[in-house]
């Protein structure tokens, strides 16, 4: 497959703080790649380096077949970027915002493109509504329409569904998959595990380093984690007590259950031994992506996850 993104050894510092550390990433055309990591990990900076909004201190490679250091203007014209914060004009209508974007990109058949974008994202009946009066979900649709109006080959989404209700999130992701099926390459940063699992593959960034790369299943299988699911009364209290036990990397309550994870099964069995009686029930389960990422947050480097 042809690579839409193939960059190596990206580094970026602001003053004495290194935000991106030797990041290399390859993404094939038409793939949806998720970027995960805690706040301040370097996700947004990496996205901006890839599309030419920031200049790296070092690094090499191509984006959309062009040198990402010397052909930034050409790359930007073929890239759509949707920021976490709504950045369109709130005192303009939906249609006026899209018409403005069409003029900025000097598009042909501007009205036709605007009409198609309105129809595709279900905005045609709201075209005269002020952007500032829209709910979070409708603002999200408008922002996506603006980011894809010029027919980009690459779409960068920076936590696009933050503060959006579950129904709007699902509809948004359905549209993203439709765009990817048409050949659009998508990079998206997110904190939601269910969204990460909807990506074709994911990368986990911590302290500016890309420490995990692959499909969700590949990352889970490489983790080496063993996980037990426990149920019973006061399970939250049990989770708190287990969290400090030797061999336990994480113990997290999930409603009326608890996930306890570690890399050594014997150590976990010893930790839960005091609670292996009625009314408690314990079952070994496949680790979730969240279990793995909780483990990753306690690491700085681990070659097992890279690919």
- Per-residue model confidence (pLDDT) at position 299: 59
Do the domains at 3-219 and 226-286 have one common CATH topology?
no
Q: pLDDT digits over 217-265, tens only?
A: 999 999 999 999 999 888 888 888 898 899 999 898 877 889 899 999 9
pLDDT, tens digit, for every residue of 72-96?
A: 999 999 999 998 888 899 999 999 9
Give the chain's mean pLDDT.
91
Task: Give the mean model confidence (pLDDT) for residues 178-183.
Answer: 95
Listed by start position, the domains of the chain span 3-219, 226-286
Cβ neighbourhood burial of 98 (10 Å; 0-12, 13-18, 19+): buried
Tens of pLDDT along 126-144? 999 999 999 988 999 999 9
Q: How far is residue 194's CA from residue 196's CA, in Å, rounded to a whole number?
A: 5
Neighbouring CB atoms inside 10 A of 245's CB total 16
The CATH-assigned architecture of domain 226-286 is 2-Layer Sandwich (3.30)
Given a contact cutoff of 8 angstroms between Cβ atoms, the answer to whether 207 and 175 are in contact is no
What residues contact 143, with CB distance under 8 A and at least 6 apart?
Answer: 82, 83, 86, 87, 88, 160
Res 72: pLDDT? 94
Judged on CB neighbours under 10 Å (0-12, 13-18, 19+), 108 is exposed
Residue 59 has pLDDT above 50, yes or no: yes
Mean pLDDT of the region 171-193: 93
CB 197 within 8 A of CB 227: no
Contact 222, 211 (CB under 8 A): no
Give the right CATH number for 3-219 from 3.40.50.300, 1.10.20.10, 3.40.50.720, 3.10.50.40: 3.40.50.300
Place of tokens 């359905």: 174
Helix (H, G, I), strand (E, B) or coil at 147: helix
């Amino acid at each position: 497959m042809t690579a839409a993104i193939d960059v190596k050894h990206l580094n970026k510092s602001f003053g004495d703080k290194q935000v991106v550390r030797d990041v290399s990433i390859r993404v094939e055309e038409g793939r949806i790649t998720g970027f995960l990591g805690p706040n301040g990990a370097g996700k947004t900076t990496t996205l901006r380096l890839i599309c030419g909004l920031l200049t790296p201190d070092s690094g090499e490679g191509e984006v959309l077949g062009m040198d990402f250091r010397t052909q930034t203007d050409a790359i930007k014209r073929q890239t759509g970027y949707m920021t976490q914060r709504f950045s369109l004009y709130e005192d303009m209508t939906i249609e006026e915002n899209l018409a403005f974007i069409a003029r900025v990109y000097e598009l042909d058949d501007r009205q036709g493109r605007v009409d198609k974008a309105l129809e595709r994202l279900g905005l045609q009946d709201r075209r005269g509504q002020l952007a500032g009066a829209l709910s979070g979900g409708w603002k999200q649709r408008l922002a996506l329409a603006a980011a894809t109006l010029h027919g980009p080959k690459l779409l960068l989404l920076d936590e696009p569904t933050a503060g959006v209700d579950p129904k709007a999130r699902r509809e948004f992701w359905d549209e993203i998959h439709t765009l990817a099926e048409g050949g659009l390459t998508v990079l998206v940063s997110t904190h939601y595990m269910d969204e990460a699992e909807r990506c074709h593959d994911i990368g986990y960034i911590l302290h500016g380093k890309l420490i995990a790369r692959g499909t969700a299943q590949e990352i889970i299988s490489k983790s080496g984690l063993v996980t037990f699911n426990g149920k019973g009364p006061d399970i939250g209290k049990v989770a708190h007590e287990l969290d400090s036990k030797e061999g336990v990397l994480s113990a997290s309550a999930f409603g009326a259950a608890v996930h306890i994870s570690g890399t050594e099964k014997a150590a976990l069995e010893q930790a839960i031994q005091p609670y292996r009686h009625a009314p408690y029930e314990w079952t070994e389960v496949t680790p979730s992506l969240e279990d793995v990422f909780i483990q990753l947050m306690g690491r700085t480097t681990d070659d097992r996850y890279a690919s």
